[in-house]
Structure formats: structure tokens, C-alpha cells
Amino acid sequence: MEAILAFNDWLNGIVWGPLILVLIVGTGIYLTIGTGAMAWTKLGYIIKNTVGKMFSKKILGEGEVTPFQALSTAIAATVGVGNIAGVATAIALGGPGAIFWMWVSGVVGMSSKFAEAVLGVKYREKTPDGRFVGGPMYYLEKGLSIKWLGRLLAVLFSAFGALAAFGIGNMVQSNSVAKGLEAGFGIPPIVTGIVLAIAVAAAILGGLKQLVKVTQLLVPIMAVFYIIGALIIILINIADIPGIFASIFSTAFTGTAAVGGFAGATVMMAIRRGISRGVFSNEAGMGSAPIVHAAATTDHPVRQGLWGVFEVFIDTPVICTMTALVILSTGVWEGGASGAALAIEGFSDVFGAFGGKFIAISLLMFAGSTILGWSYYGERCAEHLFGPKVNMIYRILWIPPIVIGAVGGLEEVWAMADTLNALMAFPNLIGLLILSGVVFKLTREFFDKQAKEK
């Protein structure tokens, strides 16, 4: 086991080294330029045609679920522990400047997630039983002209995705929930694990249609609950906010000196921690979200891509930024704590003992929803490798690790999940770059048509 962990540490240092960071950001910049920075220049249009129409009954095209249900499931998988513990860890290891680089991952990630959703719908397939399946494994296999390369990359992505799901989307999440509920309410981890496993089983064993019924209800509640709590603290410390933004921008390029219990951070530490935690949070470039976007009812790939843009927007510029402002405005980041403990200190600084309970409830909703979303991602990856007969087997196998994660110490699982996340991203990013011309063409056609119809 020690040899495996040592190998993983070595591999993690490579896959999360400068190459992947340059590839993630570089791909995002390239896609941003190629789409005319549509994710930002047309942000008003995007919000109007996503949030503004999330409850519209007029939906054109084919699909298995509504666009809002697809978004809810994608956000359920995306908005998780990374938005609380991940942001806190980025600050604890990279200083305030890490948040600037997290923003960078979000700014360019909006275009990456847009491209993923567009390709997910463009190359999706309809199964004999009427389901719509898609994602990187399908656009790699069907879109790349060099067929053997596309097939190889598709298999690699599916294998890494099916395995990574048990880490990032299962045990890591249940462990965070269990720790939070134990600290906030004194609930034993084994109780949390069993109850959470039963609840998840009830939601996923019925398939995608049952799953989206849960996520479309849970996601808005959890987002509003957390945003209101964070906003209260930000408003109380509003006088400090301009100075905090100045510190974020300045230390992003100069590093952060040691202060209090904070050991200090170099510029490279800020860049690495900010971008890697940003990707862990918004998952742009990883290739996970297009798996569920491909199931959405839509009449054009770009129309669903708009929901991908909004997904990253709500995750990083909104929720992650609020977590960061809470931690920085309360000054708790200087104390040397990290992860969820640091977030708890930030909320407890204003809410007192309720701060721990607030984070525990937030972790329950965030991590619980992530377990639901990633169960679908992992299942689709497994189906691509072994066929639809594996689907129910995967769902059943998904349940026990929830309990194991809740009661276990998971530093090793965190490390392996981190490595598998990067390994998922490599084939997906290659596919995004090779198929970028398809994304650009579809984007131009869509908005040209919109302009003519005005």
C-alpha cells in the first residue's frame, strides 16, 4: 500500500504540475477567444435565457430531462466540498492571492464548460430504450478523425471517470458531511454514513428521472441558504471588503508573507492552489458536466451550452467568492487552520456556535448533492465501457463506499481522487482543442440566427 501511495504522490506531482495548469487555462483562453468571449459579452443574454426561463414549459427539441433539470444535476455535482473546504484550503496554502487564480480558472472555465456542453449535445446518442447519453467519451470517439486515437482517449476518460467518481464524488463527500455533522451536532459518523447511504439509494436506484426530481428541488434551496448566510457576514464586514480585494490582486503576483499562524506563500503556490482548487470546484475542463447536459431536451447544442456557462458562473464567481470573502474578512485565515475547519472559524466569528452548525448543514446539502450527481457521471462512464447491463450494478456498488467514507480517514482517497481528476481532464482537454472548430462554427450559426430573428 505504501508503494501505491508513493507512486500516486509522484504521479500527482506530475499531473498537477505546470503542464495541466497551462493546458486547462490555455484551453479556456483559446476557447474564450474563439467564441468571441461570448461567455462574458453575452452574459446578460445567457442569464435571461437560462435563469429567466428555468421554469418555462415551452421547451423545443429532443431529450430525456429539461435543461433546468440537467443544470440542477450538473450544479449538484459541481457545487460541493470544493466550494467550502476547497476554497479554504486554497487560501490556507496559497494566501489571498490564490483567489485571483481561482477567478482565472472560473473566467476561462465558463468557455470550457460551454464547449463541453455544446459537444456533449452535438455528439450524443439515443439508446434503444429512449435514453440520451453523451459526454467526452462520445465526442472523442465520434468527433476525432483519427478513429483509433478517439477510441483510446474515450476509453481512458471512461475508465478514469468511473474510478474517480468513487473518490471525488462519493467517499470524499460523505467524509466531509460526517465530520461536519459530528462537529456541529455531535452525530456519530457511522449514523451519518448509514442515513446518507439510504437517502442516496432512494434517489439513484430509480435512474436519471428519479435523480433529477431530487436535484432540481435541492440545488436552489442549498444555494440560497448558503448565499444568504455568507452575504450576512460580508455585509457586516463591508468596510473591509475593498482592502480584501486589493490584497487578493496584489498578492496574486507578489506572494503572501507569513502572518499569525499563516506560514506564507509564493506566487507559484498561489497559482497552483488557486487553479487546482478552482478546477476541483467548478470542474471546467474535467469533462464531467457534459455527461448530464447531453441528456437535456434542447433544439440546439449552443442553447444547452448557455446553461454550462451559468453553471460555472454560479459556482466560482458567486459561491466560491463568497466563501473567500467570509474567510478573509473575518481574519481567521491567519490562524493556521485549513479546510472545512477554517470555513467554520469564519462563520463562527459572526454566528458564534451556530457557525459550525451552519457549515455542517451546508456540507450536508453540498456534499449530498454531489454524491447524487457523480453517481450518474460514474455510471455513464461505466456504461460506455461495459454496456447498459452495468448500470444497476454500478448504482448498487455506489452505496457501500458512502458509509466507508463517512467513518474512514481519507487523506489517501483525497490524494488518489486528485490524481484521477487530472487524468480525466487530459483526454477531455485534447478533445476540446481538436473539436474547437465545431464549437466555433455552431456558436456563430446560433447567434447569427438569433440576430436575424430579432
Can you give the pLDDT at residue 418? Answer: 73
DSSP reduced 3-state for 239: helix
Dist CA 154 CA 434 (whole Å): 14
Dist CA 248 CA 97 (whole Å): 5
Domain ranges within the chain, ordered by starting residue: 2-453
Average pLDDT over residues 160-172: 88
Alpha carbon 396 to its chain centroid, in Å, reads: 24
CB 251 within 8 A of CB 109: no
Q: What is the pLDDT of residues 186-196, one digit of tens each?
A: 999 999 999 99
Write out the three cell numbers for 112: 470550457
Amino acid (1-letter code) at residue 77:
A
Q: How many CB atoms lie within 10 A of CB 234?
A: 19
CATH classification of 2-453, choosing from 1.20.1740, 1.10.4100, 1.20.120, 1.10.3470? 1.20.1740
DSSP reduced 3-state for 66: coil
Write out the three cell numbers for 303: 442553447
Average pLDDT over residues 230-248: 94
Dist CA 391 CA 374 (whole Å): 13
Can you give the pLDDT at residue 414? Answer: 67
pTM for this predicted structure: 0.89
Can you give the pLDDT at residue 268? Answer: 83
Provide the phi-psi class of 59: left if phi over 0, else alpha when psi is between -120 and 50, else beta: beta
**Torsion angle, CA of 357/407/421/217, rounded to 10 degrees?**
-50
Can you give the pLDDT at residue 66? Answer: 77
Percent pLDDT > 70 in the chain is 96
Q: Which residues contact 378 (CB under 8 A, 6 or more apart)?
A: 161, 162, 164, 165, 166, 169, 394, 398
Closest residue by Cα to residue 371 from 72, 210, 169, 218: 169
Buried b (16+ CB within 10 A) or exposed e, 11-50: bbeebbeeebbebbbebbebbbebbeebbeebeeebeebb
Could you report how far apart the first and last alpha carbons of the chain are, in Å?
A: 63
Can you give the pLDDT at residue 189? Answer: 92
Q: Is the pLDDT of residue 149 over 80?
A: yes
**240 DSSP assignment:** G
Dist CA 277 CA 54 (whole Å): 29
Q: What is the pLDDT of residues 269-283, one digit of tens each?
A: 888 788 877 877 788
Q: What is the pLDDT of residues 40-88, one digit of tens each?
A: 899 889 988 887 776 666 666 777 777 777 777 777 766 777 788 788 8
Q: What is the pLDDT of residues 347-373, one digit of tens each?
A: 998 999 888 888 888 888 888 888 888
**Residue 378 — pLDDT band, cuts 50, 70, 90?**
very high
CB 407 within 8 A of CB 1: no
Buried b (16+ CB within 10 A) or exposed e, 186-199: ebebeebbebbbee
Question: 158 or 206: which carries more pLDDT confidence?
Answer: 158
Question: 184 or 156: which carries more pLDDT confidence?
Answer: 156
Can you give the pLDDT at residue 168? Answer: 78
Provide the phi-psi class of 164: left if phi over 0, else alpha when psi is between -120 and 50, else beta: alpha
Average pLDDT over residues 380-408: 93
Can you give the pLDDT at residue 138? Answer: 96
**Residue 237 — pLDDT band, cuts 50, 70, 90?**
very high
CB 333 within 8 A of CB 322: no
Amino acid (1-letter code) at residue 6:
A
Write out the three cell numbers for 417: 481522487
Can you give the pLDDT at residue 10? Answer: 84
Dist CA 354 CA 417 (whole Å): 31
Q: What is the pLDDT of residues 418-441, one digit of tens each?
A: 788 788 889 999 999 999 999 999
**Residue 262 — pLDDT band, cuts 50, 70, 90?**
confident
Average pLDDT, the chain: 87
CB 417 within 8 A of CB 168: yes
Can you give the pLDDT at residue 52? Answer: 75
CB 129 within 8 A of CB 359: no
Can you give the pLDDT at residue 193? Answer: 94
